[in-house]
Chains A and B, each alone.
Chain A
Amino acid sequence: MLQVIRNSLYFGGVAALSDVSFSVERGEIFALIGPNGAGKTSMLNCISGLYHLSAGRIVFDGKDITRLPAYKRAELGIARAFQNIELFKHMTVLENLMLGRHVRMKSGVLAGGIYWGKAQKEEVEHRYAVEEIIDFLEIEHVRNMPVGTLAYGLQKRVEVGRALALEPKLLLLDEPMAGMNSEEKEDMARFILDIHEERETTIVLIEHDMGVVMELSQHVAVLDFGMLIGFGTPEEIQANPKVIQAYLGEESLLEVQG
């Protein structure tokens, strides 16, 4: 489904990624973990096309997408939810989700301006798909609220919804549970599992909570200082000495700071 081949990414002298390779199989939940600043978000940015690689290739669905701009990757079916919420704050939940369907819709300037006829038909059709997602994510009650007024946990949910509205083949989720309480986390975990099963979507998930990662994912890749230090099933990762060391290192660092 997705092959990341020897990816490197430099910012000035800093290597955010160095020589990272892994592959994601169709239909799996793939977790990307690592300490803070390890390069996880940078990796997703490279896959979704916001950053362009300094070296290496990315192949999606058998197609080399290394040079494709972000919007073309969206057209191919790669959708993304951000770590720091990147919703359109002034738009309502509904409008955000309708925007998520942009690549699935067609009407242009003229059809839109004239509206009655083609564009209206399209809007109604796609509204059904969006309402389905709204039901699925249990956000009916805030449907018409401007997103900026919603609580943090709900915004996170709307962002997943917007990505989902694109009907992605590959869904990239950057810490969808960060900053949530345990109840919200459980809901989100359930949504992710449902997306995976009912919609047969391949998911790449960045998450710090090891319990969640072990429970949800089929494969895990571990980054540390931009390097891939572990790859395998959750069990393999838990037993990997390098990974343990990286995390222990972080813990001892925290102790020193505390």
Chain B
Amino acid sequence: MTAVQSPFAIGCGDFRVNYTQDMAIYKNVRVRRRVIFLVILFFLFPILAPEYYVSLATMAGIASIGAIGLNILTGFTGQISLGVGAFLGVGGYASALLTTRLGIPFWFALPLSGIFTAGIGALFGIPSLRLKGLYLAMATLAAQVIIYFLFNHWDALTGGTGGLVVQRPSLAGFSLDSEMSYYYLMLVILILTALFTLNLFRSRVGRALVAVRDRDLAAEVMGIDLFKYKIIAFAVSSFFIGVSGSLMGHYTLVITPENYGTQISIEYLAMILIGGLGSVMGSIYGAAFITLLPVVLRELMTAVREVFPNLESIFIGIKEIIFGGIIIIFLIYESEGLAKMWRNLKDYIKLWPFSY
């Protein structure tokens, strides 16, 4: 159970005068300042950091957009999905086809591929009215498998296993070829995604979605059409996953089926489990963690190569084991993920040295 906050523990200068202020995303002035500081840091990052790190951050950021999307469905609305990989692909292929076949500019193709993915997501969300938990997981896995099969075999449209090649977008005649420019594109869209989601969950529709997760019978008696809101959750979630897929496609420049398999779906579930279900910031932490984990592991392997020369050859296996192990540890010990751990750490620091 959540700890009861002592009424005396509220920080100084923390009084809110009207309801508008009371409903702000970050009510506490200090917290708001910290968030602004963080955002500024993100904007300065590519200027300060080497290109390699910028590209890692871009990958993590694009994954964050998809992870927020999945969290809307699974974390906030309680509907598990194993179809993220396929939906990323739907976004990627849609965007590729729109830009290359129809010659639609990226700037329109990006939201359009999100909308298209939302439609496909809503369609595959229909079973959620009848199915829960493991059964819903199976149904979404079926969606994953079907769509993945189409990616591989509908050659005329998807180019089969060879995939499709796309181009970097350009803005006012200036192509976003550099790491830095694409990082900024990612950052703006990530911020918009995070803001949209935070806003959604402090207003009517978001509350209804959380109610569906917590107690669907009571939700229905309060006037919430379960079917409608589950479909809304699938659609909104898939929209962001589609946008993420499109962004990733135009970043890596190739769209091939192997990027959209079941293992990707599991990686995204791991992101939100590790980051924290029902947390926007947690989705970002989790996505960064899962994106960077293999990189860090590889660096470690390289570092200890002198001492254990054949470690690298079994690296692939080790990676999967560590990956699985971390997920299990999080599931057992910290079900609210990194976001919660971060909060605990902050509380600890705030109270130090008087923590007990």
Enumerate chain A interface residues (CB-CB to B < 8 A). 48-50, 69-71, 74-75, 79-80, 82, 86-91, 95, 98-100, 102-103, 105-109, 111-115, 119-120, 122-124, 127-128, 131, 145-146, 148-149, 162, 166
State whether A71 and B224 are in contact (beta carbons under 8 Å apart), knowing that A99-B208, A109-B236, A115-B203 are contacts in the complex.
yes
Complex CA–CA separation, A166 to B202 (angstroms): 18
Is A86 a contact partner of B204 (Cβ separation < 8 A)? no
Complex CA–CA separation, A91 to B5 (angstroms): 14
Complex CA–CA separation, A95 to B22 (angstroms): 13
State whether A113 and B221 are in contact (beta carbons under 8 Å apart), knowing that A105-B204, A124-B23, A149-B4 are contacts in the complex.
no
- Name the residue on B nearest A77 (C-beta): B223
Contacts of A109 in B (CB 8 A): 200, 205, 232, 236
Is A149 a contact partner of B23 (Cβ separation < 8 A)? no
State whether A107 and B221 are in contact (beta carbons under 8 Å apart), knowing that A89-B214, A149-B1 are contacts in the complex.
no
- Name the residue on B nearest A111 (C-beta): B203
Contacts of A88 in B (CB 8 A): 210-211, 214-215, 218-219
Complex CA–CA separation, A88 to B210 (angstroms): 9
Task: Check: B226 CB closer than 8 A to any chain A CB.
Answer: yes
Is B206 a contact partner of A50 (Cβ separation < 8 A)? no
Q: Which listed residue, B4, B20, B218, touches A86 by the CB 8 Å rule?
A: B218
Contacts of B200 in A (CB 8 A): 109, 112-113, 115
State whether A91 and B217 are in contact (beta carbons under 8 Å apart), knowing that A109-B200, A115-B203 are contacts in the complex.
no
Q: Which positions 1-48 of chain B face chain A at CB distance < 8 Å?
A: 1-2, 4-5, 19-20, 22-23
A–B pairs, 30, beta carbons within 8 Å: A48-B221, A50-B221, A69-B220, A69-B225, A71-B223, A71-B226, A75-B223, A79-B221, A86-B215, A86-B218, A88-B210, A88-B219, A91-B207, A91-B211, A102-B207, A103-B223, A106-B204, A107-B203, A109-B200, A111-B203, A112-B205, A112-B206, A113-B197, A113-B200, A114-B199, A115-B200, A119-B204, A122-B203, A127-B22, A148-B2
Is B196 a contact partner of A113 (Cβ separation < 8 A)? yes
- Name the residue on A nearest B226 (C-beta): A71
Complex CA–CA separation, A98 to B222 (angstroms): 11
| Most chain A beta carbons < 10 A, residue from B5, B200, B203 | B203
Complex CA–CA separation, A80 to B208 (angstroms): 17
Closest 10 CB pairs of A and B: A74-B223, A115-B199, A103-B223, A112-B203, A86-B218, A113-B196, A88-B214, A70-B220, A127-B19, A113-B200
State whether A148 and B223 are in contact (beta carbons under 8 Å apart), knowing that A99-B207, A99-B211, A113-B196 are contacts in the complex.
no
Contacts of A99 in B (CB 8 A): 207-208, 211, 219, 222
